[in-house]
Structure formats: structure tokens, C-alpha cells
Amino acid sequence: MTLISTKEILAEMPLPNTLETAVETENSQGQLKAFPPVTDTIVWLKQVDWEEVGMRCKGGLNNVGLVLAVTGEKLYDFGTWLAKV
């Protein structure tokens, strides 16, 4: 079994002293940011039609209620059928 040493690789990589140095290094290398800017997210949230979202949630909740009511009724009918058998 052979172990690969990373000591030489880590010794060659300079470590930044501060956060500002790390950010400058990433920006100079042309890397993309991990998250979109906060302002874009705020603008997107302001463009959402919250009335439509509320209506869709209400409709979905009504559908769940109907499914539960029908399932409960069928389960009750099944229970009464089993009691008669």
C-alpha cells in the first residue's frame, strides 16, 4: 500500500493572510462568484405575484382536504363492511 504525500503540494501553494487577499486572488483569477448578488434576489422577489401564489396555495390546500375527506369516507365504508363480514 502506497501513501501519496501532499506535503510538497501544500508547501508550494501560498496561503492568503487575510480575507481581502483571498478575495483579490479569486477575482484576479476570473472565477465566478458562488451566489448571485443580493439585489437580483430582491428584485426577483418583488416581481412575484403574491396574490396568485396565495390563490394557488389555497387551491392546493382545498384539494388536499378533498382527498382526505374522500379517503376517510372510503376507509369508514371499508370498516363497516369488515364489521358485517
Q: In angstroms, rounded to a whole number, what is the distance separating the alpha carbons of residues 41 and 27?
A: 22
Output the average pLDDT for the chain: 77
pTM beyond cutoff 0.75: no
Q: Give the cell for residue 46.
A: 418583488
Q: Between 79 and 24, whose confidence is greater?
A: 79
Q: Please report which residue ranges of the chain form alpha helices under DSSP H.
A: 7-12, 19-28, 38-47, 50-84
Instruction: Give the CA distances from residue 12 to residues 5, 23, 71, in Å, rounded to whole numbers and listed in that order.
Output: 13, 20, 67
Q: What is the pLDDT of residues 23-43, one digit of tens each?
A: 565 555 555 555 667 778 888
Q: Give the cell for residue 24.
A: 483579490
Q: Give the cell for residue 4.
A: 501519496
Q: Which of 34-38, 66-70, 74-78 has the lowest mean pLDDT?
A: 34-38
Q: In angstroms, rounded to a whole number, what is the distance separating the alpha carbons of residues 18 and 14?
A: 12
